[in-house]
Amino acid sequence: MTPGERLWRWRALSGEEGEPDALAAMTERETESAFEGLISFGTAGLRAVMGPGSARMNVLTVRLTARALAKTIPEHPETFAGTGVCICYDSRRNSRLFAETCAAVMAEAGIPVLFFGELRPTPEISFAVRHYGCAAGINITASHNPKEYNGLKVYGGDGGQLVPGPAAAVAAHMEEAELFLGPPAVSFEQALEEGKIRILGKETDEAFFRAVLEMAAPCGRIPSGFPIVYTPFHGTGAKVIPEVLRRLGADRLFCVEEQMIPDGDFPTVDSPNPEYKESFRLAERLADRVGADWIIGSDPDADRIAVEYRTEKGTFDHPSFQAVGSVLFEWYAGRLKETGRLPEKPVLMKSIVTGRLAGEVARAQGFGCRETFTGFKYITAEKDRLERNGEGRVVFSFEESYGCMAGDYCRDKDAVGAAALLCCMAADLAAHGMTLGDAIRDCYERYGYWAEKTVSITCTGTDSARRIARVMRELRREPPEEAAGRRVLQWEDMLDGRTGGSEADRRPTSDLKGEDVLRYHLEGGCSILLRPSGTEPKLRIYLSALCSRKDSGRVVEELEEWGLGLIPDP
């Protein structure tokens, strides 16, 4: 079907389903982009701007995806082991509508549905899939993306997001199916009345709380009087994180009330991404009013978390999660040792874009350290494989993108469990007269100062994805001998596993392959990793340098300049 045919069919839709007002308001270029192709389903599921069009998030594309998943589940019992599908949603516009659409499709296919009656965070659906023995989970969320976006994540029976094989099977069924097929014969309300859909509520929350608190038990309790400021940025964290912290003993917890209200327009922030310090303006003002030195914030689906601490100057610092994750891992490992809960053959799991500081900490703590491709779908799949084969026990996992996972109850980034650990750690540091900044500096003094930065190049225009692909293709065809004025000692192509460079034979390599990633190890302890985003027209560049703090700004700037020059302006 051509874009013009899809547009003609769309205009013929009746009622609100075709979003006629939104379609009429679109420019010619927007219409061309919206109907150019079919929305892409990958290991991250769906994620796109909401609105009319075959390439956007709307009832028709969500319905198409749900029907494709319903066909895939019985065909792949190794991935979808269990019974039924668990469905939840976040605070974004249309999230409840999309969730009900998925539930009705599953009921039509004869698949039992467990449906969260109110919005809930990502880690809770990952937990619920395993807790109830479901075959799959569906989470309607676009995580930290801007308000115009929404998305659909799919989980297998292990509680982890889909890896490439089953994701490709869903995508194939989407290509075969009819986009303009009508709604299910049974509505959400009818399926609910007939018992095909069951509503989940407080009983699931309580089971989830018990699991989180059990994981955090070695950390003790948050002492009375320790002040904490929390913001969920209008998202799902408001439903669970304050309750978990109070059960851990927090009696001076101050929530940013304006941001405790679920709102998919995120009216009080430019971006609901906790990665950005500017998103914490209201939290900082509240902390000043109540005398708090510690702030935490979770993104709309509560899988990512960031922290701020008050410095000696009285201002708030917003450290990278490369540093925070490394310090938190070391502190948590120490608590496990002290309480006799450290398992045999403990392992730290991290992604290839997570800095080398974490690996140094792991080795010093007597842990194994394993790398995976970017994304907790790979981390959790490798965790399960490792533990199934008796090769180790994964105690802690994290990525530089403000996400971590501890314990065994969840198989995704978990801001709820992270909030519990981070607040326990902050209180413990305060009791010893230290801040998180002190702990980070101490970590650098013991393991070396790693300057690390993530840069994203956003491409615009209809050929944006092709421009990024062309850059990656050219780098593969002619691997650079130097980058940022430094010799390339070794390069790794993780698409096919090839390596090269002047010292390729003398350096260890990763055995990972199958993903569009290039990594360059440069002289002087520097490295550059390139990875196209799977959900946006962006080339992500991860920079790392082992150097003195004094030289770090200059070194990282040189690496960044080389990376930014890869894609010239159109």
Please give the positions annotated as active site: 143
What would you report as the CA-atom Rg of the chain, rounded to the nearest whole angstrom?
A: 24
| CB-based contact 282:258 (threshold 8 Å) | yes
CA angle 302, 308, 309 (to 5 degrees): 145
Q: Identify the bridge partners of residue 156 per DSSP, sorted by sequence position.
A: none
Structure tokens at 431: 């009791």
| CB-based contact 120:88 (threshold 8 Å) | yes
Strand bridging mode 252-255 / 227-231: parallel
- Taking Cα atoms as reference points, which of 380, 379, 370 lies closest to residue 157? 380
- How many Cβ atoms sit within 10 Å of the Cβ of residue 94? 18
CA distance 226 to 224: 6
CA distance 463 to 461: 5
Structure tokens at 63: 């319905």
CB-based contacts of 183-187 (< 8 A; 24+ apart in sequence): 183/17, 183/63, 183/104, 184/63, 184/104, 184/105, 184/107, 184/108, 185/108, 186/104, 186/107, 186/108, 187/104
Structure tokens at 205: 């929350």
Among all chains, which residue has been given the structure tokens 């509240």? 286
Q: What is the DSSP letter of 223?
A: P
Structure tokens at 206: 């309580």
Q: Max CA-CA distance within the chain?
A: 68
- Residue 243: burial class (beta carbons within 10 Å; 0-12, 13-18, 19+): middle
